[in-house]
Amino acid sequence: MSEKLDLSQFEKKMIIRKMNHSDIENIINMQKLCFPGMTPWKVEHLESHLDMFPDGQLVAELDGDIIGSCSSLIINFDEYDDRHTWDDVTDEGYITNHNPDGYNLYGIEVMVHPDYRRMKVGHRLYEARRELAREYNLKSIIIGGRIPNYHKYAGEMSPREYVDSVQMHKIYDPVLSFQLINGFTLMRINPNYLPDDKQSNKYATLMEWNNVDYRPKSKRHFKTSHPVRICVVQYMMRQIDSFTDFANQVEYFTDVASDAHSDFVVFPEIFTTQLMSFLNEKSPSMAVRKLTEYTEEYIELFTDLAVRYNVNIIGGSHFVKEDDDEIYNIAYLFRRDGTIEKQYKLHITPNERKWWGISPGDTVRVFDTDCGKIAIQICYDIEFPELARIATDMGAKIIFTPFCTEDRQGYLRVRYCSQARAVENQIYTVISGTVGNLPDTENMDIQYAQSGIFAPSDFEFARDGIVGETDPNLEMVMIGDVDLEILRRQRQSGTVRQLKDRRHDIYSIQYKK
């Protein structure tokens, strides 16, 4: 009797899966083979794709080898000019214009390794895209398709005549014919779509596949505004006798924010140093270590307030001793659903280092909230423009900056830089500072602040780019509304478009994390 045949030795395992960072080098090498003579992806392009929309980046894998890939993003196609180019719709390949609330999946590339063509790899990738459109409940998939055989006929027919001939099966085009078979219909022909696509004479066919399973959602129709209400607390540093005194003051301001139906309430940097006023420790370095003993009470207080008052709280910042025995300046986000995030201060001032021995963090974070993506950059950090640009590229629409400065010069550094970041990155920025005095607390004896909310400087935003500001050096709150829908529109069609107009060909910011 013959032995049973082991069928596993004959199996070939092809899967379609999400792209990951370890695939990037293989994808770039494959692209060079698929599109000779065209500029391939850069590593930072694909890294940005994974940061902005990881679900839209797919690869085909056969027995562990990458044999195909496709990239896409979500947009509102109506916001783009009918004659848009590939650079327009992809933000020059970085897809930082990806819009999670958009209606259309836009496919920006599909490729199959030359050694594995005619194995239905492209069909599998296209079907995965269709499933993605169904999963996200998108109206359609739109692609700007190459017509790589057109250069053979350019002397005898126009692009329209060539496309008509392909549609009537008189001419075969490897891309257009494939897209027609996959259910895409022609919308128009765009000139100058890809400047380095010489085979297509720079033309592209704009094609669309309609999702028949699309379910209209009324809340996404006629969206004219996406308001976010922010309550900024300009906090008075005064002598207190217990943590309970501190908690009472904080709850008062949280209640004020909640009564005004605020989405966020923002407290200043290291305002918990007010607790030092009753710790009876003259040495600043020892006082900070005593202060860290209140970390759990601080976190419990703000978590409770965020949930009870139904408001997201930027809990200023607090000195925290971690397992490495180092002390960090940490800002916490207390979401109103009870979850917590934290952002370490990355740049430590000479003062913090000298008096308190504070250690720096090393990661830029962007946080999801029920009002969109936000970032927190503590005081000195807002004075480094690279951080705000990195956070913006990661999707942040609002940057909150709790700060603590003792004089007008220090305050103006924070303010001017915060306003500059709003203009440079087309985002909203918020600063919240401490005022008052702690006469018996070494290195925290005087404060200076004027808190505010800032916008990009353009017609649809607040005059002078100031949504609102407090009076200098008075304890008070300021409540202002920012509109994320206006922000989104202005990024596409504002008087100036700093994000779209960046010269990626001559400079870039590399985030090493």
Catalytic residue from among 70, 231, 371, 379: 379
Residue 237's beta-bridge partner residues? 436
Residue 394's beta-bridge partner residues? none
Active-site annotation holds for 345: yes
Whole-number Å distance between alpha carbons of 122 and 129: 11
User: Which token pair is 192?
Assistant: 């100058």
Active-site annotation holds for 373: no
Whole-number Å distance between alpha carbons of 51 and 96: 9
The answer to whether 220 touches 103, Cβ cutoff 8 Å, is: yes
Catalytic residue from among 92, 109, 202, 269: 269
Active-site annotation holds for 269: yes
Of 204, 197, 199, 192, the C-alpha closest to 150 is: 199
The answer to whether 90 touches 108, Cβ cutoff 8 Å, is: yes
User: Which token pair is 312?
Assistant: 């997201």
Structural Rg of the chain based on CA atoms: 27
Q: Report the amino acid identity of residue 115.
A: D
- Going by the DSSP 8-state scheme, the letter that residue 5 receives in this structure is P
User: Which token pair is 132?
Assistant: 């993605």
The DSSP element (H or E) to which 245 belongs, if any, is helix 243-259
> What does the H/E/C string look like for 86-148?
HHHHHCCCCCCCCCCCCCEEEEEEEEECHHHCCCCHHHHHHHHHHHHHHHCCCCEEEEEECCC
Query: CA 418, 380, 500 angle in degrees (round to 5)?
Result: 40
C-alpha distance across the termini of the chain, in Å: 61
Catalytic residue from among 202, 342, 345, 397: 345
Q: Kindly list the catalytic residues.
A: 269, 345, 379
